[in-house]
Structure 1
């Protein structure tokens, strides 16, 4: 009966560690429980059967963990739950010919401190110099830094 308990503890411990490595991100109770179960199984093997069987149990557990991890990574099981979406969108670039420092526009949304403005019939994302600027307020472009239009209230 003790041998069955040892085997079950080690099997459940390895299963929890595989779940931790391949499914659950971070260090969670699954990893802690898996390590404790494997440790408990090895402790029971040493305690009930002596050093020889304990050493064999440790060796068998290490081999079983390695084989289980290799099979889990090699199999197509994880392809079923894997994220396969591709991001093919791109960030809209500011056409620098359309918006220049000194141009004036109007706020389409509140700038707190980021928002949308309309300058030269073009709607762009803008950043205020620090003050909140209400919707429908007139603004002036004072610069463009890293494709972000910087404005101040008029």
Structure 2
């Protein structure tokens, strides 16, 4: 029974470490839990079975973690869960004469700070001057920088 607990601690610890390295960003509970589980399993093997089994458990942890990490990094492993869709849409370019400084319109979505504004019977993307602007608020164009429309509430 003790051997089963030691094996489960080590296996679950390695799984948590793999999750930490490959899925969860940063140092989280998964990494700390994985390290503690592996350390607990190795400690139990030393305590219950002696030095030879303890050394063997450390060696097996290193080999098992290395093999599972190498297997997880192979590209074909991730192809099974990889998103295979491709984004084919593109941003509609704004014509120079569509919107001019001083034009007025109405927000069709909240500008936080980017959003959609209806101007000259066209819906275009606009940016507020740093403040949030609620939907259905009348706005005025105060500038156009690199094809980005800058608006302020009226």
Q: Do both proteins adopt the same fold according to a TM-score greater than 0.5, normalized to the shorter chain? A: yes
- Structure 1 segments unaligned to the other structure (5+ residues): none
Quote the offset at 1:65 in angstroms.
0.6
Alignment correspondent of 2:147: 147
Residue 117, structure 1, aligned to residue 122, structure 2: no
Cα distance change, pair 25–81 in 1 and its aligned pair in 2 (3 A): farther
CA distance in 2 between counterparts of 1:122 and 1:83 reads: 34
Change (3 A) 1:17 1:134: closer
1:134 Cα offset (Å): 8.7
How far apart, CA to CA, are the structure 2 residues paired with 1:92 and 1:135?
Answer: 23
- Partner deviation per Cα, 1:47-67 (whole Å, 9 max, x = no partner): 223334322321221111101
- Note if 1:58 corresponds to 2:58: yes
Output the aligned Cα RMSD: 3.6
Equivalenced residue count is 151
**Structure 1 residues 28, 82: CA separation in 2 closer, same or farther (over 3 Å shift)?**
farther
Q: For residues 71 and 148 of structure 2, what CA distance do their matches in structure 1 show?
A: 50
Match of 2:83 in 1: 83
